[in-house]
């Protein structure tokens, strides 16, 4: 048993050593740095207040439990499938994989956070400190195993449509509840830390350190139970996620774009991972907006639709990546437009849900119609534009659907990249809603016109950019998906090829273009509009009345021109034709 475990741990170490190069090392490094900071914070709690420490460990537990579900299925460096020909009994396989699961950045950082147990023990006495050592190890094992079991359970659920939908609803509800946790504290009149955190499995280690020796035994029993559960689940993990076998309706489209729409709509309804993501976004939006009802406030309810749109867009952030190398078919048919079809399909899946949800809930609360109706088209258009754009520009190479292993949540080897992309999408989609929201807050119904306009513009313009990107860099994107590696040569190498003068001009333009554009241009005109004259260093506010706006406008133009010049110098020449120059 020990030999298998040790071998698997060493195998994982070897894989990790090869995997962490370049961009992935950066992502992992950032993650590790954030983790170390959180661990230090947790250990610090051990010096302050043990109640807070127990609460801290509850948060770590939730991180282990839920993190992998939203970050591409968790750590799968060693897959159970690798060992299926060895004929290992399930328990030994699980034990070996568990040993390997301890090797890695996340367990190491968590062990660091669990040093808080040792600190707490040392402050209480020698015996307590001695108990802290096994408690740390057992507690870490509980974290890792709970994470593995939860991923396995959801993976199993994703084999049937019902399972995919139910787990999507549950995950959405849990995550929304965490986001709105303040409401629950408020509702229960709870001040400080609820006593329940002590009795979660995350608190047992601390209980043991404080002299409740039974907690140590309970931890050990839990580890054994979870190990047995995981072993049982591993034997049921065979084959990839199955598609549903419902009747097939024939494709009736007659045009190329219609064909893309038909293909995408079928994928949305047949791919159970997409079913899961859709119900997750829906459940998240509804629960997030509805949870203030607990304290008798319905003001957030109308926002369920907008939240759903933003979350659904984040789920689709790697649209092209999840289809993998199927991109070759798009490259072989340069006459047809893939992006427009995907946008139409995304809208026809999401817009009806969003519209019904928004209109129904806003009618229920009588709530701010102009603002909600302004946000709806702005966000829908923004998301439909950003989904193809971001997935074409910041593509995270995915695993081809037919090569995915038993974990259906695992669509890519670069889970850090996927998570980053989802957050980027959240932020950008929210931004596309901002102009319409501001216009609605200031001018009421004019906001709706703004929303329709920005939504249409985003959808059309970002789609156009995505289309161009695919046309110009299609072979490079395909290569990234074939090999799973991003080429290092993009802007940087082009920058290295520039002459010294060009470099200087480009760096000045890109580095300082923001100064005329933002403070001297945009901000200054806002100050002028609000009659805030002679304001610190904003030149336009010092001008005579007739010249204030022209000066601000001139600065905006200057800033835009500087950015334009900088980009023009740096941008690669004629990327669409001819051999690459990198």
Q: By the criterion CB under 8 A, which residues form the site for other proteins?
A: 240, 242-243, 245, 247-248, 250-251, 253-256, 258-260, 262-263, 266-267, 270-271, 323-326, 328-329, 331-336, 400-402, 475-476, 478-479, 482, 577-580
3-state SS track over 105-165 = HHHHHHHHHHHHHHHHHHHHCHHHHHHHHHHHHHHHHHHHHHHHHHHHHHHHHCCCHHHHH
Nearer to other proteins, 1 or 251 (CB): 251
Tokens of 451: 């929303």
Least separation in angstroms between CB 217 and other proteins = 47
Per DSSP, the residues of 461-475 read: HHHHHHHHHHHHHHH
Nearer to other proteins, 253 or 518 (CB): 253
Taking the mean position of all CA atoms in its chain, how far away is CA 295? 29
Looking at residue 521, what DSSP letter applies? I
Residue for token pair 């997409």: 274
CA nearest to 480, candidates 581, 353, 390, 392: 392
Nearer to other proteins, 19 or 130 (CB): 19
In this structure, what is the dihedral angle of CA atoms 480, 484, 488, 491, given to the nearest 10 degrees?
Answer: 40
In this structure, what is the dihedral angle of CA atoms 534, 535, 540, 544, given to the nearest 10 degrees?
Answer: -10
Cα gap 505→501, rounded to integer Å: 6
Least separation in angstroms between CB 572 and other proteins = 12
Nearer to other proteins, 415 or 476 (CB): 476
Q: How many CB atoms lie within 10 A of CB 201?
A: 19
Least separation in angstroms between CB 205 and other proteins = 44
Nearer to other proteins, 115 or 336 (CB): 336
Helix/strand/coil for 398: strand
Nearer to other proteins, 148 or 263 (CB): 263
Nearer to other proteins, 334 or 550 (CB): 334
Q: Are 524 and 534 in contact (CB under 8 A)?
A: no
Least separation in angstroms between CB 356 and other proteins = 26
Least separation in angstroms between CB 471 and other proteins = 9
Q: Are 128 and 210 in contact (CB under 8 A)?
A: yes
Cα gap 469→517, rounded to integer Å: 27
Cα gap 2→509, rounded to integer Å: 61
Least separation in angstroms between CB 477 and other proteins = 11
Which residues partner with 412 through β-bridges? 398
Least separation in angstroms between CB 334 and other proteins = 5
Tokens of 171: 């995950």
Residues 6 or more apart in contact with residue 459 via CB below 8 angstroms: 343, 347, 381, 382, 384, 385
Least separation in angstroms between CB 473 and other proteins = 9
Nearer to other proteins, 193 or 265 (CB): 265
Least separation in angstroms between CB 503 and other proteins = 25
Least separation in angstroms between CB 261 and other proteins = 10
Least separation in angstroms between CB 336 and other proteins = 4
Q: Are 57 and 139 in contact (CB under 8 A)?
A: yes
Helix/strand/coil for 543: coil
Nearer to other proteins, 482 or 503 (CB): 482
Residues 6 or more apart in contact with residue 250 via CB below 8 angstroms: none
Nearer to other proteins, 325 or 507 (CB): 325
Nearer to other proteins, 126 or 332 (CB): 332
Nearer to other proteins, 326 or 438 (CB): 326
Least separation in angstroms between CB 69 and other proteins = 22
Which residues partner with 398 through β-bridges? 412
């Amino acid at each position: 048993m020990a030999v298998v475990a040790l071998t698997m741990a060493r195998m994982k170490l070897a894989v990790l050593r090869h995997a962490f190069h370049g961009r992935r090392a950066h992502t992992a490094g950032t993650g590790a740095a954030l983790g170390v900071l959180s661990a230090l914070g947790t250990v610090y709690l051990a010096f302050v207040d043990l109640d807070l420490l127990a609460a801290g460990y509850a948060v770590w537990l939730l991180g282990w439990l839920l993190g992998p579900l939203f970050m591409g299925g968790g750590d799968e460096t060693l897959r159970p499938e690798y060992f299926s020909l060895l004929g290992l009994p399930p328990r030994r396989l699980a034990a070996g994989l568990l040993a390997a699961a301890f090797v890695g950045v996340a367990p190491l950082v968590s062990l660091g956070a669990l040093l808080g147990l040792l600190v707490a023990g040392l402050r209480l006495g020698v015996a307590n400190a001695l108990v802290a050592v096994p408690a740390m190890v057992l507690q870490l094992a509980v974290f890792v195993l709970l994470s593995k079991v939860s991923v396995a359970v959801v993976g199993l659920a994703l084999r049937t449509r019902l399972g995919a939908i139910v787990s999507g609803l549950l995950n959405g509800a849990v995550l929304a509840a965490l986001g709105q946790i303040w409401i629950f504290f408020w509702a229960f009149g709870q001040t400080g830390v609820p006593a329940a955190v002590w009795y979660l499995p995350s608190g047992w280690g601390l209980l043991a350190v404080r002299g409740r020796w039974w907690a140590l035994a309970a931890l050990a029993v839990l580890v054994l139970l979870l190990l047995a559960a995981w072993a049982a689940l591993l034997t049921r993990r065979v084959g990839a996620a199955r598609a549903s076998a419902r009747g097939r309706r024939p494709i009736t489209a007659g045009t190329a774009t219609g064909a893309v729409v038909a293909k995408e709509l079928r994928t949305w309804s047949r791919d159970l991972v997409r079913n899961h993501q859709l119900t997750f976004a829906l459940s998240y939006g509804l629960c997030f907006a509805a949870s203030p009802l607990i304290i008798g406030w319905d003001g957030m309810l109308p926002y369920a639709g907008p939240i759903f749109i933003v979350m659904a867009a984040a789920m689709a952030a790697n649209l092209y990546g999840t289809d993998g190398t199927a991109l070759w078919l798009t490259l072989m048919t340069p006459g047809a437009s893939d992006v427009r079809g995907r946008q139409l399909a995304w809208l026809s899946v999401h817009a009806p849900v969003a519209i019904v949800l928004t209109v129904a809930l806003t009618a229920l609360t009588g709530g701010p119609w102009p603002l909600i109706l302004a946000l709806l088209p702005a966000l829908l258009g923004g998301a439909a534009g950003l989904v193809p754009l971001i997935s074409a520009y910041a593509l995270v190479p995915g695993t081809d659907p037919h090569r995915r292993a038993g974990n259906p949540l695992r669509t890519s080897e670069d889970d850090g990249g996927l998570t980053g992309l989802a957050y980027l999408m959240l932020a950008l989609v929210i931004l596309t809603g901002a102009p319409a929201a501001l216009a609605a807050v200031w001018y009421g119904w004019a906001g709706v016109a703004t929303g329709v306009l920005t939504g249409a513009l985003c959808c059309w313009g970002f789609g156009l950019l995505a289309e161009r990107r695919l046309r110009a860099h299609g072979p490079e994107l395909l290569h990234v998906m074939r090999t799973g590696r991003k080429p290092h040569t993009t802007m940087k190498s082009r920058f290295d090829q520039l002459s010294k003068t060009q470099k200087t001009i480009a760096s000045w333009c890109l580095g300082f273009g923001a100064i005329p554009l933002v403070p001297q241009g945009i901000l200054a005109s806002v100050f002028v509009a609000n009659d805030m004259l002679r304001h610190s260093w904003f030149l336009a506010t010092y001008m005579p009345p007739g010249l204030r706006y022209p000066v601000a406008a001139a600065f905006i133009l200057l800033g835009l021109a500087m950015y334009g010049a900088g980009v023009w110098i740096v941008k690669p020449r004629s990327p669409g034709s001819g051999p690459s120059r990198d």
